[in-house]
Amino acid sequence: MPRTSAWVRAYVMGHLVNPELAQVVRREYLHLSPDRYLQIVRRRRALRSELSELLRTGAGAKAFDLIGGADAATRVAVMVLDMCSRTSEWYDPRRNVSPARLADHYVTAALRLAGAQPAAEARRIR
């Protein structure tokens, strides 16, 4: 679970500290040249695969109770990625919540979405 938490934290922080790039990768990649488009699609798929594997491993270790079981790891990964990537659309650094604190909330939400066992999740929440 620590690797999954670190992965989600890094993903969210990337969207919070570099929202313009995050928006290109999230939406505007559709308008890039064919070569750049393929690069972005490959990277997006690689990210999805990385997170899916972390979730599948966590499910196998009984740290996660994935909706749909371990076979649904990719679907849960897509849910987490979608939830986290939207931060670049609405986050305003002038608000009273820091990127690190917001990332903590998203890690907690991702772990809950993955069905983290309550005792393990309680250790994660600050």
Triad 6, 10, 16: Cα angle to 5°? 145
Q: 116 pairs with which residues across the strands?
A: 64
How many folded domains does the chain comprise? 1
**Statement: residue 121 has pLDDT above 50:** no
Residue 52 in this model has a pLDDT that exceeds 60: yes
Per the structure, the complete domain to which residue 71 belongs is given by 2-124
Question: Which CATH number does the domain housing residue 59 bear?
Answer: 1.10.357.10
pLDDT value of position 40: 87
124-to-12, 49, 110 alpha-carbon distances in Å? 16, 23, 12
Q: pTM of the prediction?
A: 0.84
Question: What would the mean pLDDT of 56-83 be, rounded to a whole number?
Answer: 93
Give the Å distances, CA to CA, from 125 to 67, 80, 117, 121.
Answer: 21, 17, 13, 6
Q: CB of 54 within 8 A of CB of 7? A: yes
Share above pLDDT 90 across residues of the chain, in percent, rounded to a whole number: 63
- Tokens in use for 25? 């990768």
Average pLDDT in the chain? 88
Residue 81 and residue 48 in contact, taking contact as beta carbons nearer than 8 Å: yes
User: How confident is the model at residue 21, as a pLDDT?
Assistant: 78
- pLDDT value at position 126? 47
Dihedrals φ, ψ of 69, to 5°?
Answer: 80, 180
pLDDT per residue as tens digits for the range 9-19: 999 999 999 88
